[in-house]
Structure 1
């Protein structure tokens, strides 16, 4: 028996786990971790950071409650469909300037909803038409971010690090004091460790340049956009492995110096 998204309560659809002091990991319960993103809530003294907002099938604001939501700064790691679906529910919406137009005018193509979102990613029977017909609600950003900008919560601050490659406007958020990194899809603990480079707007050469720039970043804990969190040693391993792989591919693709 198929269910509709409207039949799920927010408490049923989402789950939250405290992973550190005032840091919470939120997941869409029924969506596999490869498709559904990790949403990160950081409670601050003056405002709360929400890094990514899921697919938007069920209200995230209702799950968080008004005490949290009214002071939320919703920051998008990038504009893919699994990260921006509930942006419209929050008054303060931030994204890198390179992807601002996608939030204002989302389509199945520019958010990669088509072909990324499929009924098979959901662990309960959902009407396939519900998945296919879902539209990301337009929500123009209220603040455009650039590398080096700061998101200040009052008692802690996060530096914006621009890491194009997975998408043109991919960003990470870095707490320099505590060496905590929210890496979005740029670096994660999946089988490849690096976000796909075959989607809309991806660029492997930009990805290489980004990884070479962030390889020495002091990281104690990395919270990725998918899969489990990991330590600094694993972070460096992932970045170094991609750099080595990309350089190897580049060398193999170059014509031999002795060829005519």
Structure 2
């Protein structure tokens, strides 16, 4: 029997694991790791950071809780549908200027919801119309980001690194003090490697230039938008393998 998204509680739909002190990975439990993104919650002294918000099928704010959510800065790695679905639940929203317009006026096309979101990505029987009819809620950024901007949490800060290629406004967030990188979809440890630019606004040359720029970034831990996290040695290997393939 098919289920509807409204029948899931937030506690049932999402799961979380602590990966560092005050850093949690949040996942949509029933969506495969290739389609469903990793969301990263960082607790800070003065405010909290939420990097990406999933598809928006079920409330993420309820899962995180009001105490944390009231003081969250929700930052989008980019404007693809699997990363921005619950942005509208949070008052403070940040994204790169190149994709601010998509977040304000999302469509099935400009968020790649079609053809990306398919019933097969969900590991429980869901009414196919629930997938087909879902739409990303408009949520214009309240702060527009550029390369080099800083998200200050009080006791730690994350630097915005603009990495166009996967999409025009793709960004990573870098904690320079601890060398922790939240890489979005720019760098990940998927079996097919990085650098796929099949989406309508992807650009191979920009992706290559971004990788050349970030190849020597000092990284202790990289937490990506999909797939498991990895260390700095693997980060360098992933980036250099992509660059070498272009020779």
TM-score, shorter chain, exceeding 0.5? yes
Distance in 1, Cα, partners of 2:220 & 2:143: 29
Q: State the Cα deviation string for residues 147-206 of structure 1 (Å, max 9, x = none).
A: 000000000000000000000000000000000000000000101332531012100000
Residue 170 of structure 1: aligned partner: 170
Contact 1:77–1:83, Cα closer than 8 Å, also in 2: yes
Residue 16 of structure 1: aligned partner: 16
1:4-83 aligned at under 5 Å gives the runs 4-83=4-83
Residue 219 of structure 2: aligned partner: 219
CA shift for structure 1 position 242: 0.7
Q: For the pair shown, which has the larger CA radius of gyration, 1 or 2?
A: 1
Q: State the Cα deviation string for residues 121-167 of structure 1 (Å, max 9, x = none).
A: 00000000000000000001000000000000000000000000000
Distance in 1, Cα, partners of 2:117 & 2:195: 16
TM-score, normalization: structure 2?
A: 0.99
The alpha-carbon distance between structure 1 residues 195 and 12, as it changes in their structure 2 partners (threshold 3 A), is farther
Distance in 2, Cα, partners of 1:11 & 1:221: 27
Distance in 2, Cα, partners of 1:37 & 1:27: 7
Aligned Cα root-mean-square deviation (Å): 0.6
Q: State the Cα deviation string for residues 20-73 of structure 1 (Å, max 9, x = none).
A: 100000000000000000000000000000000000000000000000000000
Distance in 2, Cα, partners of 1:10 & 1:223: 23
Distance in 2, Cα, partners of 1:65 & 1:176: 28
Residue 113 of structure 1: aligned partner: 113
Q: 2:246 aligns to what SS in structure 1?
A: helix
Distance in 2, Cα, partners of 1:246 & 1:13: 40
Displaced runs of 4 or more, over 3 A: none
Distance in 2, Cα, partners of 1:99 & 1:195: 19
CA shift for structure 1 position 215: 0.4
Distance in 2, Cα, partners of 1:200 & 1:141: 22
CA shift for structure 1 position 245: 1.1
The unaligned stretches of length 5 or more in structure 1 are 248-260
Residue 240 of structure 1: aligned partner: 240
Residue 131 of structure 2: aligned partner: 131
The unaligned stretches of length 5 or more in structure 2 are none
The alpha-carbon distance between structure 1 residues 195 and 136, as it changes in their structure 2 partners (threshold 3 A), is farther
Count of aligned pairs between the two proteins: 247
